[in-house]
Structure 1
């Protein structure tokens, strides 16, 4: 029998994060495209980002038939937050664009995120932007597959702080930190130190 869950943050009621989730405005619009395998993940950071930002939308799937409509938001210029050879630094791209950005963020493992791009050719046609090198994740429960790899929520916070400087989007990280602390407490400090430090 499953434990009762919060309908908003989907965490078990005794671990609900809603009190920590802010409600922030941003000039930048976010379209988070989540691979279905991520929805059941205990650390669903894309959901936390969508809940904490008023100008964000989370869409779950592999193929998005209405993607052209979602990308054609009046008054916004769409770009894809995803590293690669053609990716331009986000700060440089934002400086060249007069309109607010519609930042499209794929959410999933690197393999699943690449699959989203493959299944949705419109994504690959977007200008691609990347975050600066040398970033480090607060995600202490998972080894990063590459240096500078961040959770989706962390990447969104960094991106928004670049595009909308000097605004501070760190309050979005409060439920993320609580989630990690809760996971560490559940496994026990000794187990955490043995397996993750």
Structure 2
């Protein structure tokens, strides 16, 4: 992915608002693999990009590109969970997952990935209680909708890494504030400016 010459290659913000100096390096009890819908690749508001900067070992794999789909067969290994609502409430895993797969896109895109990618249908689910309080860049279609970064922070909290979760949410708040400044909305989100969120 090529960033604009006037934007940071890592966080995609312009130099005067670069997020990189504020990105913490967080320890997590598991690794994350973000399965990102192709439509999210170029969006400044793709929060998975910021989460990956803070969580070493996080891999972003793009889904839905014109070329052949990525090989995801390794995700069937024991200890892999998918971060997605479960049909029925389930307790958190007693042993931390080795890998957490995070579908990244709008709600409908994420749901279709879970339904259509065979290996994701077979994985146990790591579900969250609900979104954290705070300002968002996109209006959720569901009451429990949240950004990908917020969902990853929620997973950290469920898995006992509360401090890392809080620091990741603080990064999210800073990034949201900077995006709003870029859009000329320092005091809040204009309903016309937000996009649908998963």
TM-score interval, normalised by the smaller of the two chains: 0.7 to 0.9
Q: Which residue of 1 aligns with 2:35?
A: 33
Deviates more, 1:99-108 or 1:41-50: 99-108
Closer/same/farther in 2, CA of residues 81 and 3 from structure 1, 3 Å limit: same
Q: Which residue of 1 aligns with 2:156?
A: 160
Q: Which has the larger radius of gyration?
A: 1
Q: Which residue of 1 aligns with 2:55?
A: 53
Q: For 1:175, what is the secondary structure of its paired residue? A: helix
Residues 81 and 97 in structure 2, CA contact (< 8 A), matched pair in contact too: no
Please identify which structure carries the higher helix content. Answer: 1
Q: TM-score when scaled to structure 1?
A: 0.81
Question: What do you get for the CA RMSD once the two structures are aligned?
Answer: 2.6
Q: Which residue of 2 aligns with 1:68?
A: 73
Residues 23 and 54 in structure 1, CA contact (< 8 A), matched pair in contact too: yes
* Per-residue CA distance 1:56-95 (angstroms, 9 max, x = gap): 21111237432112553xxx60111111415x43xx2312
| Residues 1-197 of structure 1 aligned to structure 2 (within 5 Å) | 4-62=6-64, 64-72=69-77, 77-86=79-88, 88-89=89-90, 92-95=91-94, 97=95, 100-133=97-130, 135-186=131-182, 187-189=184-186, 192=189
Give the Å deviation of 1:150: 1.1
Q: Which residue of 1 aligns with 2:196?
A: none
Q: For 2:48, what is the secondary structure of its paired residue? A: helix
Distance 2:112 2:123 in 1: 16
Residues 137 and 151 in structure 1, CA contact (< 8 A), matched pair in contact too: no
Distance 1:150 1:142 in 2: 9
Unpaired segments ≥5 residues, structure 1 = none
Give the Å deviation of 1:163: 0.5
Closer/same/farther in 2, CA of residues 18 and 35 from structure 1, 3 Å limit: same
Closer/same/farther in 2, CA of residues 93 and 141 from structure 1, 3 Å limit: closer
Distance 2:188 2:32 in 1: 37
Residues 46 and 107 in structure 1, CA contact (< 8 A), matched pair in contact too: yes
Deviates more, 1:15-24 or 1:140-149: 140-149
